[in-house]
Copies of this chain bind each other. A is one copy, B any other.
């Protein structure tokens, strides 16, 4: 068998919990035993028909359902040297739950396909299942894994598909933002990217390869940003709240605020203007002092709705991905629901997707094909 994962790069146990990288392998136990061990640790949810038949049957109360799918591959998407099996299951679950939330939908179920090298200890799959259970309990109680598939591959791979219910509301698309709407964000901006940068700096060996021991030795293991890179905490409940509050557009911040804002701007045919609270207030003699800045922010930094939440849009917050916050637009005057904070305003379409203080903000980001060099990711 071609092997692209190296057990030697996986964490080894110290004084912590039992080492998942030991014990019987999936090849030794066979599909039925592995399925049984994994299934019993997954969140069951309440499907009409659960795992074990040709299909699951899931309720779709309003006669529609939303669906999203996402694949995570060892190497480009995660490294065992940096993430525990629980971390990987958690991340696979929440990235999909966040996409469901970004339509304004309540998550109603997940299906999970996993392909593992035959020499993967079954404890690793059990840990992944635990991650799904923990994530569902924390962010989408009642949302279960209703079905799945187990296969073999030289590269450990998870494919997750998630469903949601719109509760009779229209789905909140990327294309609905209108000039004058308020631009707001819910969830964290930056920690996942800062955590990844920390891992690339402190969690690699002399050859630049991910190294679990270095993560621990450097203290990166207890860095809150690293924790967020391993287990992002998307504001899943804020998606349905935004829909109920009348959000005109919304998307999941998977690749970073700037690139995802660019997507929303192009889909809606608008320009998004970021408030520029970090910048010094314009001098009274500038033309901007005569009225709101192009981004709608008054010269004293107060937004048109009077809010001054003070979201600091520094580099990691603007360009760092994987926090899976929600970016949404709301009609002016709407009380922002849940954890949403105003960060700007929707402008008529100009020459740029995203501007701040009259200056274009680059809306570039990560391309999984063009940028992956086999380690970075």
CB within 8 Å for A152 and B367 given contacts A57-B103, A69-B161: no
Give the docked Cα–Cα distance between A76 and B374 (Å): 23
A243 to chain B, nearest CB (A): 12
Give the distance in Å from the alpha carbon of A49 to the alpha carbon of B156 in the complex.
Answer: 31
A115 and B34 contact, Cβ closer than 8 Å, known pairs A48-B64, A57-B171, A67-B146 = no
Chain B CB within 8 A of A294 CB? no
Which residues of A, 87-142, contact B by the 8 Å Cβ criterion?
99-100, 102-103, 105, 109, 111-115, 118
Q: Is A252 an interface residue (CB 8 A)?
A: yes
* Given A151-B76, A154-B75, A369-B30, A56-B63 contact (CB < 8 Å): no
Q: Which residue of B lies closest to A103 (CB)?
A: B55
Find out whether the CB atom of A49 lies under 8 angstroms from the CB atom of B171. yes
Chain B residues with CB below 8 A from A58, complex form: 64-67
Select A64's contact among B60, B66, B161, B367, beta carbons within 8 Å. B60
Contact B63 A65 (CB under 8 A): no
- A370: contacting residue among B27, B54, B171, B368, CB under 8 A: B27
> Any chain B CB within 8 A of the CB of A305?
no
Write the chain B residue with the least CB distance to A375: B1
Residues of B near A147 (CB, < 8 A) are 67-69
Q: Does A31 contact B (CB under 8 A)?
A: yes
Give how many copies assemble into the complex. Answer: 2
Q: Judge whether A174 is part of the interface by a CB distance below 8 angstroms.
A: yes
A311 to B309 CA separation, bound complex (whole angstroms): 74
Q: How many residues of A contact B (CB 8 A)?
A: 79
Contacts of A60 in B (CB 8 A): 60, 63-65
Q: Mark A192-218, 1 if CB is under 8 A from B, else 0.
A: 000000000000000000000000000
Is there an interface contact between A369 and B67, defined as CB atoms closer than 8 Å?
Answer: no
Measured CA separation A53–B174 after assembly (Å): 6
User: Of residues 155 to 176 in A, which have CB atoms within 8 Å of B's CB atoms?
Assistant: 155, 157, 159, 161, 163-164, 166, 171, 173-175
Contact A55 B27 (CB under 8 A): no
User: Beyond A53-B267, A57-B103, A76-B151: 9 further Cβ-contacts under 8 Å?
Assistant: A34-B369, A52-B267, A54-B68, A55-B67, A55-B100, A56-B66, A57-B171, A76-B153, A155-B157
| A contacts, CB < 8 Å to B | 1-2, 4, 26-27, 29-32, 34, 48-49, 52-61, 63-73, 75-77, 99-100, 102-103, 105, 109, 111-115, 118, 146-155, 157, 159, 161, 163-164, 166, 171, 173-175, 250-252, 267, 367-370, 372-374
Can you list 28 A-B pairs, Cβ within 8 angstroms, ordered by A? A1-B372, A1-B374, A4-B4, A27-B369, A27-B372, A30-B369, A30-B370, A31-B368, A53-B173, A54-B68, A54-B174, A55-B105, A58-B67, A60-B60, A60-B63, A65-B65, A67-B161, A69-B113, A70-B113, A71-B114, A71-B115, A71-B151, A71-B159, A73-B115, A73-B153, A75-B154, A118-B369, A159-B159
